[in-house]
Structure 1
Amino acid sequence: MTDAPAIADHGLIGDLQTAALVATDGTIDWFCCPRFDSPSVFGALLDQEHGGHCRIQPAVRPYRSTQLYFPDTAILITRFLTEDGTGEVCDFMPPILGRGPTDNHRLVRTVRCVRGRLTFDLDLMPGFDYGRQPHSLRQTEDGVVFDGGDHTMTVHVVREPDDPRLAQLQTTEDGRVYGSFTLEAGQTRGIVLESAAPGPPRTIRPDEIAQLFHSTVRYWHSWLARSTYRGRWREAVHRSAITLKLLTYAPTGAIVAAPTAGLPEQIGGERNWDYRYTWIRDASFAVHSLLALGFTEEAADFARWLRNRYQESDGRLRIMYRVDGSPELREEVLDHWPGYRGSRPVRIGNDASGQLQLDIYGELLDAIYRADQRGLRIGHEGWQDVTALLDWLAFNWDQPEEGIWETRGGRADFSYGRLMSWVAFDRAIRIATTHSLPGPIEQWRAERDQIYAQLWDRGWSPHRQAFVQQYASEVLDSSLLRMVKVGFVAPRDPRWLSTLTAITEELVTDSLVYRYDPAAAPDGLRGAEGTFSLCTFDYVNALARAGDVDQARLVFEKMLTYANHVGLYAEEIALTGAQLGNFPQAFTHLALIDAALTLDRAMDGTRPDTRPTTAA
């Protein structure tokens, strides 16, 4: 059994309801269907032997492969270069537009010989329900149907009707499909994988696939044309924007933290979580970033989804939900899977969903405030929901919690939770006063000011000369890099500059930033982790706002070198520079966008953003 490919050796494709990872060797080794948070159909990334995969690659060895996106789209091209010629596998999923949730999804895999003459091999083996559900298959002249009980996957053959190549797929007793086909320069063949297909397998002509390709290109070009970004890092910013869009479940507007589960923060370690859900925090951050680029429709969709969550709640929000709004995320261990390169346990579901994390209210209200600044006014019923949320927060902000990093070592008085509670009241006051909306503004002001005084008094360590992770502790935490961004402290306040210096000395290594030191602040888990890419981009933001623009730009440019070959980032970066954690990570890509916007403004000599930095 071979090792799984590096986490970074993948590109992402999707149809706005689910997504797939394609490795540089031509293997689809992660695909959940029909939704991001559905059981996997291809899961070889976590179990090479039984997880399921779809592999198309040259028959001749050795070969060299490269991968790129068709410009400004989510269409992925994997190129193979051999002594016999050069070929391409083009992977994409036609976006599902104007429809609600559906079980019917298409994954197009076309193969083209561009030079010489090449033979490609197909190896296809699904692993329904995380490899737990056996399947049967039936073969026709035009393809194969895999039947996994509650789920079916149909393989349509792409060829000219009079071309026998790839028409005869070979099946095995264990439910695997093989195929081999030879192409001359200029010829295109392939397959289409379709879930819950309405009919039997059929022969699909290359010109029909070409129409699907062009309509998919038009969609992505049309969507990206709405971007208002004209800064220095357009390629990286737009790739991050496309990635955030790919992580959006269009029927509800929910944005998942990542499309994967179980990818480790330390190879061989136990910090392996399921991120295929919608965190209020992550989604609010993502909406904030997309709004800054001019994408207002996504903000409106998420607001509707969020309003439904509150109206179904008991007065407070959970920290995460499934993309359809369900709060049921019971954690389960897949004991039959060995995990990515032996990293166990493999978890699906997420028990952190029951934690108390006070910061989510600040991130939510900040996103609402940003949307309001861009003309997306909150309606009457929405404002009633906001005031009710703040009623709950007024009685609950001053209590221990699990914090932004979802620690499993018990509740504590986290400074970041207090900071974002301050933001929640502050943004509500601003919205209410701007639009003369009703609400207990004096009470909100009193709560906000009490949090402000408490955080300066108990969150500041005279010994460390820095704001610290928890009250009565001396531990530094990179989440507090956002203190200036949200306007809590002036960017050149002596205490803030001292905090920034302390973080630089203790948590920064060659420009990369750790979240905190687990040895100094045990989080209930064994093992270590890499540097956290969100925090590195937040560090760029903090440096630029503090006036150290040259250093901010250097850190940003260094961070861009850690992107993978198609501009994607996982959650963390190892000592070796390898990417770790679930992939690609919305957190990282939204933070890249924020850092680029801040740097652009700083280098142009304008303010980092338009948010007031003093209380109303």
Structure 2
Amino acid sequence: MGVDSRVDSHEEAGPHAGQYDHEAGFVPIADHGLIGDLRTAALVGLDGAIDWFCCPQFDSPSVFGSIVGAERGGMWKIAPESHVDSRQQFYVPDTNVLITRFLTDDGVVEVHDFMPIVVAYDSDHRQRLVRKVVSVRGRMRMRMDVEPRFDYGRAQHKTVSAQNRVRFRGAGENLVLDASVDLTTDERGDAHAEFEMDDRRTEVFVLEVLGEDVEPEPHGTEQEVDELLLRTVEFWRKWLSNSVYRGRWREMVNRSALVLKLLTHEPSGSMIAAPTTSLPERFGGARNWDYRYVWIRDAAFSLSALLRLGFTEEAESFMRWLTCRFVEVSDGEEEEDPLHVMYDVNCRRDLTEVLLDHWAGHRGARPVRIGNDAVDQLQLDIYGEVIDSIYFFNKHGRPITHDSWLDLIDMVSWLQDNWNRPDSGIWESRAVPRRHTFSRLMCWVALERVVQIARERGLPGNLEKWMRTRDDIYWQIMREGWSEKRKAFVQHYDDDVLDASLLLMPMMGFISPTDPRFVSTLDAITETLVTDSLVFRYDYEGSPDGMDEAEGTFSICSFWYIEALTRAGRLEDARLVLEKMFTYANHLGLYAEQIGLTGEQLGNFPQAFTHLSLITAATNLDRALG
């Protein structure tokens, strides 16, 4: 079956599947789908609950957050009152419109969830969560509960209700729920409804996000919802039709493209790493981070992935966003480093971590964090990823402008003076900064690409100095990044720890994929970090990172491994690993950041970095097989 039609029963959906108890917080990470409107997104569980929703932006405070705060997080649930035999979930093909189906002894009912998008770049966009309940056959009684908890459950709210409308006011937000059935409210300010569904009956619910003093417009009829649904389906299918990819694994690649688009903040052109915070990398552990921000690294890699598929408009939007960061550098607004590791969707850099102690965390994994202190780390590899993306866009998109070139020269000048500093590396270690081989590799990439741009375009620059620094980095990596003991390139200078990020060396053009040194590195990683198709980032015991606990395998590293096998000519191995990795996706083709030892999805969900690496690995392997 294709990605869009796979189903899961509640007995088989994953670890603890079937225990859909929000009071216990046992809805697995993988048992969710994602909907969104290119400004924010919502997770919809197989139990019929929206248990994560921030508004009006990805990084705004949550209104529904029970996936990490079971008792005080809030949710919006629609489900049968009777026993459910199984649950199924799938997307309307080639869209981000989600359908959750309940099969009971009394009949079958579906909940169609989406956030309407009428046209691209709509300045009059109305932010709405729409839920359409459709009876397929039989007769059953349904229950609907809306329990908003504003400002991550820290703020009280007031409720004003009429027969079919409830208005929630809290923490500067104003939510209005319209329904085709009668609504009631309770002493906590929550809204509820009970209603009968029989053959071909439909009921609709529309929750709109408004400004604090904005008066809502009347809406919510079945005809209006059907029109919104039709136009939203058309929007997604029209967007996906721009893809030029026609190769193997088209459904997985298309789903990954749709995920990347969902994680794009259309007004700014930026792309967040994931729509969630604090979903654990290990149950009961403390590796719980806020990923609702724009990582320079992730977004830069995303640009090349989208360009490969023909989505030039998204690439151009990101380049405009990135160019604005160059302007900040030239205006002298930065204190020391030209670029920060991450920004919020509005380009702010104040992302100080705050602990939400009143939330128990997903399956008890504390702490729950908002903000991310990694924003202040030095991660030198981001300069290589940024300049590589500019090079790729200059070659396959639009040529770099004069002003952007001057800003790029200033950035390269800074990098020439700072490339040899210890840093926190791609994995954002919270231990003491070290001299990371991957960081040096990407500094080499930055200088190599700026030389190529200058030569191909005839642009002015100090090429001789750039090439001299580039060569110095090359020789240093070959001397100090290579371990004779391991016969492999290693994570840090002066130790022998392997690192999966070095699988990217041939992809970046630093070394031939058939060079004996890389082949030996690939073999060492296969022996040490790979378990079947799953790949660890590095040996935790040999390289403590400031967190006193182990973790699962990283899905992005598995796709890098496929890329390395492909480039090394091991096509059958690469194909088998890719097919195995597809089996670790959830029922909708979505990936969290990590996969645990029992195959469960771990970490924030879904993760853009994983999906963009899937696109790159699949398209390159398809080309090699072809």
TM-score range, shorter chain: over 0.9
Shift of 1:453: 0.6
Q: Is the 8 A contact 1:363 1:424 kept in 2?
A: yes
Q: Is the 8 A contact 1:142 1:202 kept in 2?
A: no
Distance 2:430 2:56 in 1: 31
1:193 aligns with 2:215: no
Change (3 A) 1:496 1:200: closer
- Could you tell me which residue of structure 1 aligns to residue 20 of structure 2? none
Q: Is the 8 A contact 1:143 1:201 kept in 2?
A: no
Distance 2:290 2:178 in 1: 32
- Which runs of structure 2 are paired with 1:9-158 in the superposition (5 Å)? 9-95=31-117, 97=119, 99=121, 104-157=126-179
SS in 2 for 1:274: coil
Query: Quick one: which amino acid aligns to residue 561 of structure 2?
Result: Y
Query: 1:216-237: per-residue Cα shift (whole Å, max 9, x none)?
Result: 0110011001101011010000
Shift of 1:204: 2.1
Q: Is the 8 A contact 2:156 2:170 kept in 1?
A: yes
- Could you tell me which residue of structure 1 aligns to residue 262 of structure 2? 246
Change (3 A) 1:370 1:203: closer
Distance 2:375 2:549 in 1: 22
| TM-score using structure 2 length | 0.94
- Could you tell me which residue of structure 1 aligns to residue 511 of structure 2? 489
- Could you tell me which residue of structure 2 aligns to residue 220 of structure 1? 236
- Could you tell me which residue of structure 2 aligns to residue 277 of structure 1? 293
Distance 2:270 2:310 in 1: 18
SS in 2 for 1:182: strand
1:256 aligns with 2:278: no
- Which runs of structure 2 are paired with 1:494-509 in the superposition (5 Å)? 494-509=516-531
Match of 2:250 among 225, 234, 250: 234
Query: Quick one: which amino acid aligns to residue 512 of structure 1?
Result: L
Q: Is the 8 A contact 2:84 2:102 kept in 1?
A: no
Shift of 1:102: 8.0
1:366 aligns with 2:388: yes
Match of 1:357 among 365, 379, 386: 379
Q: Is the 8 A contact 1:16 1:96 kept in 2?
A: no
Q: Which runs of 5+ in 1 are unaligned?
A: 160-165, 605-616
Report the aligned-residue RMSD: 1.3
- Could you tell me which residue of structure 2 aligns to residue 610 of structure 1? none
Match of 2:318 among 302, 313, 317: 302
Query: Quick one: which amino acid aligns to residue 291 of structure 2?
Result: Y
Match of 1:400 among 422, 429, 432: 422
SS in 1 for 2:53: strand
Query: Quick one: which amino acid aligns to residue 323 of structure 1?
Result: V
| TM-score using structure 1 length | 0.95
Change (3 A) 1:125 1:201: farther
- Could you tell me which residue of structure 2 aligns to residue 424 of structure 1? 446
- Could you tell me which residue of structure 2 aligns to residue 345 of structure 1? 367
Q: Is the 8 A contact 1:16 1:249 kept in 2?
A: yes
SS in 1 for 2:139: strand
Distance 2:526 2:562 in 1: 11
Match of 1:547 among 551, 557, 569: 569
Distance 2:477 2:216 in 1: 64
Distance 1:19 1:275 in 2: 13
Query: Quick one: which amino acid aligns to residue 506 of structure 1?
Result: T
Shift of 1:190: 2.1
Shift of 1:19: 0.2
Shift of 1:188: 1.1
Change (3 A) 1:330 1:97: farther
1:469 aligns with 2:469: no
SS in 1 for 2:346: coil
Shift of 1:201: 7.0
Distance 1:226 1:104 in 2: 25
Change (3 A) 1:203 1:254: closer
Pairs aligned (count)? 596
Distance 1:580 1:550 in 2: 28
Shift of 1:199: 2.9
- Could you tell me which residue of structure 2 aligns to residue 330 of structure 1? 352
Shift of 1:241: 0.3
Query: Quick one: which amino acid aligns to residue 40 of structure 1?
Result: S
Match of 1:513 among 535, 550, 572: 535
Shifted more, 236-245 versus 368-377: the winner is 368-377
Query: Quick one: which amino acid aligns to residue 516 of structure 1?
Result: Y
Shifted more, 46-55 versus 95-104: the winner is 95-104
Query: Quick one: which amino acid aligns to residue 242 of structure 2?
Result: R
- Could you tell me which residue of structure 1 aligns to residue 19 of structure 2? none
Q: Which runs of 5+ in 2 are unaligned?
A: 1-22
SS in 2 for 1:204: coil
Distance 2:170 2:217 in 1: 16
- Could you tell me which residue of structure 2 aligns to residue 530 of structure 1? 552
Query: 1:487-519: per-residue Cα shift (whole Å, max 9, x none)?
Result: 111011111100000000000011200000111
Shift of 1:293: 0.5
Q: Is the 8 A contact 1:465 1:499 kept in 2?
A: yes
Distance 1:579 1:463 in 2: 35
Query: Quick one: which amino acid aligns to residue 302 of structure 2?
Result: A
Aligned-pair identity in percent equals 53
Shift of 1:538: 0.2
Query: Quick one: which amino acid aligns to residue 184 of structure 1?
Result: D
1:311 aligns with 2:333: no
- Could you tell me which residue of structure 2 aligns to residue 266 of structure 1? 282
